[in-house]
Structure 1
Amino acid sequence: MSQIKKIHPGEYRPIADLITYSPMPTRQLQQIDPFIFLNHHGFQTYPAPNNGLPFGPHPHRGMETVTFILEGDIMHLDSSGHESVIGPGGVQYMTAGSGLIHSEVSSSEFKKNGGDLEILQLWLNLPAKLKMTDPLYVGLQKEEIPSFTLDEGKVTVQQLFGEWNGVKGAFKESFPLTMSTIYIKEGGTFKKQIPASDNIFFYIVRGELKVNGQSVPFRNLVEFESGEVDLEVTASSDAILILGHAQPFNEPMVAQGPFVMNTEEEIHQAYEDYRNGKFGSWNH
């Protein structure tokens, strides 16, 4: 049994001059609760000079973002006073919670000199009881993230959330969550058992993988059947994989623009609170 339910290709959705693919949400796949949205930007090479990333100041409430920087950089600014520039191999984790304004743009150095860029952003839902939690931001460079190797060094795992192989993740999660970025050299292989209680997020960023015997190329999200899943993954070429799993919330979700809540009424309230300045001020 492959245990694969369906393979979802990323839909091409460019944003200005930014190459972007998104496998979720689409008409075929609304969410893999609590994983609700993925944008895969790049791979592309920016000339010198350039305008960089186009994500100027905008609000969020009721969800979290995990941003993976593979190439290039990203400068984060927000209304809670956080500021950072994270480079290749780094990861940003932001809890929007009750609400904040942030921008995600390229550094002045990148805009001046150009270079390669590949960045992914994954949205996580928050359970109803945590929708209005205090905002939080943590940005870590590659060397600050715990990692370990498998298969005689052919598989390198960056542990972001939860624990695997005795290694605890870099970030303190808001709800029980396990997530890793996995770099696999051609021929490298690993196995992992996912509990029956969890939904799996499995997105191939680069390369091609054989997943439980089935070949899947990059820019594809693999949806698995419910129940316990025994993953067996082998790289047909050098590959990068984002692998996460968590228990579903099984709560109603209403997503509109940058807000993810449980009811339409809460969405209207979010827009009203934003208009009334309750997400903090933008002084950058």
Structure 2
Amino acid sequence: MIEMVIDARRKDLGGFEVGRVLPFHSRRMVGPFIFLDQMGPAEFAPGSEAINVRPHPHIGLSTLTYLFEGEIMHRDNTGATQAIRPGEVNWMTAGKGIVHSERTDPLKKSRGGPMHGMQAWIALPEEAEEIDPAFWHHAEDDQPTYDNNGLFARLVAGEAYGASAAVKTSSPLFYVHWELAEGVRTAPPPGKGFVGSGGYSERALYVAKGEIEVGDRVFHEGQMIVLDPNAEPTVKALRPSTVMALGGEPVGPRIIWWNFVHSKQERIDQAKADWKAGRMSLPTEDDIEFIPLPDVPSTPEPAPAPVKPEPTHPV
């Protein structure tokens, strides 16, 4: 029923912790999901730095930012400036290249407050790796939801349970947020290995809070459960829990170097040269500073080699 369990690696980003789940050395991707971070949970003191990620570049992917608590201000060089709040979806497609920043609004910094959420990177299929960059924001009410008998579910992206999310994706996937009361049972979308299911080839569950039972095993906060394609498990909450269900169809091997994702090493090298030479423009409303290219030797590292350097996303 379970192929693998991945424990999030906690990383301190200067007063703010993330739990890095994907990529993992023996499991680079789940469907098209190539990067998954849990941001926090954290409680920022009034006047603290909070989230302060300077402008940085991406290629070959879409980012999906989703919050349980807090707020992040997004700015990018397509001209988008957008705050993201709990239940909303920020979907940014880098394609041939985008530059963005993620910061806490100064007023929010002065007040302090909680921060908890998820960030995913979704690798684009080869035919979409070089599309024009774009940004979409979807409000909380735009997403299909279900709320009954202790189970709350929101379809954040993709298709599942006969519903479709508002955000436009480039390949088959699903991304679901569950809030489960103690004792509640539910199930992920079916796997493709189950006869007649019409389901997904790759699926996983990530426990962002609480404790769940899958089969006869117990899993806790910070663990990802990668499911067998033939498995049709029931998930039971042993205490109030927040769980993200995700997966989809593979898009093929990808190289990930810093914030760049692509199927071709030469395209990664070009993006590195473009950023170092200043050929990628900064967001108009956030162009005073930026994150420089990491000083790391450029050696081709096709999957499943370790990811170095680490992405700068806190997020």
Give the TM-score taking structure 1 as reference length: 0.91
Contact preservation (8 Å) 1:58, 1:102: yes
The answer as to 2:220 corresponding to 1:217 is yes
**Equivalent residue, structure 1, for 2:169:** 173
**Equivalent residue, structure 1, for 2:231:** 229
Q: Which moved more, 1:196-205 or 1:215-224?
A: 196-205
CA distance in 2, matches of 1:94, 1:257: 17
**Equivalent residue, structure 2, for 1:66:** 64
Once the two structures are superposed, the pairs formed by residues 143-154 of structure 1 within 5 Å of their partners are 143-149=141-147, 152-154=148-150
The answer as to 2:87 corresponding to 1:92 is no
Deviation at 1:235, TM superposition (A): 0.6
Structure 2: runs of 5 or more not aligned: 194-199, 286-315
1:203 to 206, 212, 224: 206
Q: Which moved more, 1:74-83 or 1:175-184?
A: 175-184
CA distance in 1, matches of 2:54, 2:282: 14
**Equivalent residue, structure 2, for 1:134:** 132
Contact preservation (8 Å) 1:35, 1:201: no
Deviation at 1:208, TM superposition (A): 0.7
- Residues 174-215 of structure 1 show CA distances to partners (whole Å, capped at 9, x for unaligned) of 111122111111111112422235111321111111113321
Contact preservation (8 Å) 1:205, 1:219: yes
Q: Which moved more, 1:59-68 or 1:169-178?
A: 169-178
CA distance in 2, matches of 1:103, 1:211: 38
- 1:260 aligned partner, one-letter code: V
- CA gap of 1:37–1:189, structure 2 versus 1, over 3 A, is same
- 2:192 aligned partner, one-letter code: P
Give the TM-score taking structure 2 as reference length: 0.83
Q: Which moved more, 1:20-29 or 1:37-46?
A: 20-29
**Equivalent residue, structure 1, for 2:34:** 36
Two-structure CA RMSD over aligned residues (Å): 1.7
Q: Percent identity?
A: 25
- Residues 75-100 of structure 1 show CA distances to partners (whole Å, capped at 9, x for unaligned) of 00000011111112222111111111
Question: Size of the alignment, in residue pairs?
Answer: 278
SS, match of residue 238 in structure 1: strand
Q: Which moved more, 1:139-148 or 1:79-88?
A: 139-148
**Equivalent residue, structure 1, for 2:251:** 249
**Equivalent residue, structure 1, for 2:156:** 160
Deviation at 1:21, TM superposition (A): 1.2
Structure 1: runs of 5 or more not aligned: none
The answer as to 2:185 corresponding to 1:184 is no
